[in-house]
Chain A
Amino acid sequence: MMKINGIHIDDTFAEAFNMRGTRVIITAQNLKWAYHAANAMTGFATSVIGCGVEAGIERELAPTETPDGRAGVSILMFAMGSKVLMQQLETRMGQCILTCPTAAAFAGIESDDKISLGKHLRYFGDGYQISKMISKKRYWRIPVMDGEFLVQETTGMVRAIGGGNFLILATSQPAALAAAEVAIEAMKKVPNVIMPFPGGVVRSGSKVGSKYPKMFASTNDAFCPTLKGAVKTELSDDIESVMEIVIDGLSFEDIALSMKVGIEAIGQLGEKSGVKRISAGNYGGKLGPHLFKLHEILAK
């Protein structure tokens, strides 16, 4: 049995899937406008189920880290297949970055698989767009009303993993959420991962299937505290709220590290925080090819 400061760690695992991922660097006149662009671009991108992609801001970039020497942020975006990723990236570039004052976009990852960043967006320039090859990379300059929109032609697409997760089981809703917030703050410092849900936290964990034939997924009743007496529950009497943190990342190691950092941050709070147990969501290990075993991750 594993415990951290009195918090029980279940001997279970998170089950994750193969995805396609990309990184885009967004810069602007200042961080405020880089965030406006990035927040729009990663908005409504919590789950592939309804949004097509899962996206989030990976981290802030100092002017020395960006191609054009301005402040910026890096964005990670994941989808179940390359086609959806390409289509979503183009749509979001067009509606969120092209439109955002002073914003520019650059490739954030190298790969032989290239997907369009500004390749098709350039036609917005109606013939006035200008291509420039600089240091063997092609950029497009598109005249817009605030000046010129600068965008790199392509970015790289890589194999990635989505669906790493863990569950926080606590004695009250405020306690579960406070612990989740602490975990998210720590996990934001880990590179190559994003937590795509609102504030990084999801409260509606799901199970496969439903009593309604048209629904592929439905509420994870075994972890719903208000159903403790009505269903075959996973919760003990003292658990009143459960929060989940879902992680998408570029590699197994990145997600494993992020899970470890998050769980350990909650561990620091100890049992007195109201958190009693840490668990993980899976489908019996038969659906996803990647299994993140909590005990193994924490032992590393």
Chain B
Amino acid sequence: MMALTFSLKKTPSQPLDCSQLTANGLAGLSLVQMKNLPLAKSNLKVADFFEISGDDAQCIIFTNSTSQLHYIGHKMTGGIITIDGDAGDYLGAKMQNGTILCHGNAGNRVGDQMRRGLILVDGNVGNYCASRMIAGTIGVFGQVGAYLGFAMKRGTILLTQTPKLHATIQSCGKHTLPFLALLFKSFCALQTKFSEIQSQRVERFAGDLACGGKGEILVMSPTEK
């Protein structure tokens, strides 16, 4: 079985809704059916924009991806989606489980209402990352926009630099967290910038305190032991 690859043929002039292109969204579909799948809310079909190869929907790859591809991994329940390039808004929104690796930048609302699973972005993300997050893990290696973790209930956001945070996310100080050893070990198998992180030393922020405060933002300090 080869990874199911969606290779973008041309840069779309309009935003594309990719929410169907998940393991659960494509389950049981033949190649022809996949090609004829409408990109939601438009008359355009998958085949108009993507070259499709491979057959393993548990392992989906987007190549030549751009920020016009929205809702990648929407409501996904399992498998792994790799994005070679940028992703648009709502990456992994309402995600139920599985893994998303984005090697470029991602737009606004990454992991909005995400319930479980893992999203790792090597580049930067836009505003409202992890908004209304229910649980799961989001890692952003680059910079994050405004209103990070807005109304998040639970879940973990991993960052490499301290962002500007709103008032209802508060620092709990610096700590060495044992579970990070297991988490980082699990990243080793994934090809991402997070694979090389070793240090369990983080500054922990709790939030959104307006929504229970059980979520956390962990800012890593890669140089500290």
Contacts and interface: CB of A to CB of B under 8 A. Distances in A.
Contacts of B175: 147-148
B116 interface: yes
Q: Which of A67, A68, A70, A131 has its CB near the most chain B CB atoms (within 10 A)?
A: A68
Chain B contact surface mostly: mixed
A68 B178 contact: yes
B99 to A, nearest CB: 11
Nearest to B183: A134
B31 interface: no
A120 interface: no
Contact of A132 (B176, B179, B214): B179
B181 A133 contact: no
B177 A147 contact: yes
B186 A134 contact: yes
Interface residues of A, number: 18
Given A130-B154, A133-B116, A68 B181 contact: yes
Nearest to A139: B179
Interface in A44-76: 67-70
B156 interface: yes
Interface residues of B, number: 17
Contacts of B176: 147
A104 B178 contact: yes
B45 interface: no
B214 A68 contact: no
Interface string B43-65: 00000000000000000000000
A283 interface: no
Contacts of B177: 141, 147-148
7 contacts: A67-B185, A130-B156, A130-B214, A132-B156, A132-B183, A148-B178, A150-B182
